[in-house]
Amino acid sequence: MSARLLSAARPVPTAAIVAADLLVACVAPIAALLLRRGHFSDFSEYAYYWIASVLCSAACFMAFRQARGIWRFFSWRDLTPLASSVVTAVGAASLITFSFDRMQSVSRSEPLLHAGILFMGLALVRVVARHVERAKHVSGDRSAPRQRRQALVLGSSHLSELYLRIIDEMATSIDVVGVLAEKQRHVGRTVRGREVVGTVDELESVLQRLSVHGVNVCLVAIGIEDRFLTSRARAFLSELEAAGAQILDLSLFFGASTSTGPMPQAELALEPELGTWVGKRAFDVAVALTIAIALSPLIALLSLIVFLDVGAPVVFWQIRPGFRGVPTRFYKFRTMRGIGRNGVVLPDHLRVSAVGRFIRRTRLDELPQVWNILAGQMSLIGPRPLLGRDLHEDGADRIRMKPGVTGWAQINGGAGITARDKMALDIWYGYHASPLLDLQILWGTVGTLLFGDRANQEAVEAARLFMASGRSVSDSRADSESVLLTHPARTAA
């Protein structure tokens, strides 16, 4: 067992991160040129793209706040905003270069190589900064050594990872000797450097095994859901507590909750997913990737427009109940200015700019939700995510579907119908989802963007009747074709 005391790290100066980022921004396009062509003989022609890429990278790093000084906590989750800044910077540089010389001096593969090198360089800067900070331990501490408390962590969840991160980053006398995972296939892996030494069901045998090595576990941190704790494990934990060991429930320690929305989380997990069909996830990923790549210049341009209009950050996020009621961050382009000045909060209609109204009207503000789709938090087609206070107990089925960028309610009335009718339309879709219906919704979305919201009373009435009848999935699929035939997008076609 390691006997060293962990201590808090002094942060790497923000100026060092900024300088390293700018150095990577200068080197990345040159490295892409060298990899693509193998020489620098025509760099003078390439200079337009190099200058544009450095300037756009510097602007995007500032807009996305990439130089914030908390990189000792850098993890894979931080790769998403990092990738966003890279795509925006390279897309903007390509757009500027195209406007000057139609990209004649730059081959098609060089921006892709540039983006890859820039992303890897920025990630490497942050990984190095994190390890430098963690290596800056307080030296020369001549105080008496504290007694080490040996602990065991139950679960490989986010709560467990957060607890281990706190142990790593702060001066502490706790020595985590191992992790017990929920599943057998995780045994032998590591969670933040701690080996998974067994499963939760093997708690008693693992402690006996550790005792042979002189380990006396006096703290057990529980970071798993109750359903993974068997009655035998609970009884053994009670015995440990009675013998003087400390049992720490991380969900209570961090103020976490296991239930959200109109139904308990455990009950929702047992309910089948609605609004899906075989291959829908693959379809969502394919379309989201296509949008992210094809519209990257537009995304870069919108980021610049939003930055000039309302300032940084250009992306707004809001936590709403997602699939099965799990609190999820959903992203949009910002369309509102600050909440006010001198403590005076302005109403929303005064904070929305003219540019923001246009972006909202054309639904361009929802382009950042491509990342929610790729992360599996959203689908292309589904009910719009609501605030927690707007969820109604009659619409419990609504959160059994992944939220969508567009949906059946949006093309059959949108803002022109009541919230209850929207809920009925969303639930009707959940029980009738199919590839054909999703294609109809995509086509109807085009009509909605061009002509605005139009209420389809026949679809609304069908959804109301469906809610009142309470029919099963097998019964409800039979009459879906009749509603599709009356959809305004189909008749307009």
Look at residue 125 in the predicted model and tell me its pLDDT: 86
Q: Which residues 6+ apart lie within 8 Å of 85 measured at CB?
A: 60, 61, 63, 64, 66, 122
DSSP string computed for 204-258: HHHHHHHHHTT--EEEEEE-S-GGGS-HHHHHHHHHHHHTT-EEEEHHHHTT--S
State the amino acid at position 380 in one-letter form. L
Q: Report yes or no on 8 lying in a domain.
A: no
Look at residue 384 in the predicted model and tell me its pLDDT: 87
Look at residue 138 in the predicted model and tell me its pLDDT: 37
Look at residue 117 in the predicted model and tell me its pLDDT: 93
Q: Render pLDDT for 321-362 as a digit per residue (tens, 0 to 9).
A: 888 877 788 899 988 876 655 555 567 667 788 888 888 888
- Is the same domain home to 233 and 203? yes
The pTM for the full model equals 0.48
- Is the same domain home to 224 and 279? no
Look at residue 27 in the predicted model and tell me its pLDDT: 92
Look at residue 228 in the predicted model and tell me its pLDDT: 77
Q: What CATH number is attached to the domain comprising 154?
A: 3.40.50.720
Domain final residue, candidates 229, 253, 277: 253
What whole-number distance in Å separates Cα of residue 97 and Cα of residue 287? Answer: 27
Q: Report yes or no on 442 lying in a domain.
A: yes
User: Contacts from 186-191 at CB under 8 Å and sequence distance 24+?
Assistant: 186/156, 191/153, 191/156, 191/160, 191/161, 191/164
How large is the angle between the packed helices 457-469 and 419-432, nearest 10 degrees? 70
**H or E segment to which residue 447 belongs:** helix 435-451
- Is the same domain home to 131 and 155? no
Q: Report yes or no on 261 lying in a domain.
A: no
Look at residue 419 in the predicted model and tell me its pLDDT: 82
What whole-number distance in Å separates Cα of residue 63 and Cα of residue 55? Answer: 12
- Domain hosting residue 195, numbered range: 149-253
- Is the same domain home to 159 and 78? no
- Is the same domain home to 195 and 322? no
Q: Render pLDDT for 207-260 as a digit per residue (tens, 0 to 9).
A: 888 877 777 888 899 988 777 788 888 888 888 888 888 898 888 877 654 443
Low pLDDT (below 50) residues in the chain: 1-10, 70-73, 137-145, 257-269, 472-493
- Is the same domain home to 220 and 291? no
Buried residues in 28-37 as b, exposed as e (16+ CB within 10 A): bbbbbbeeee
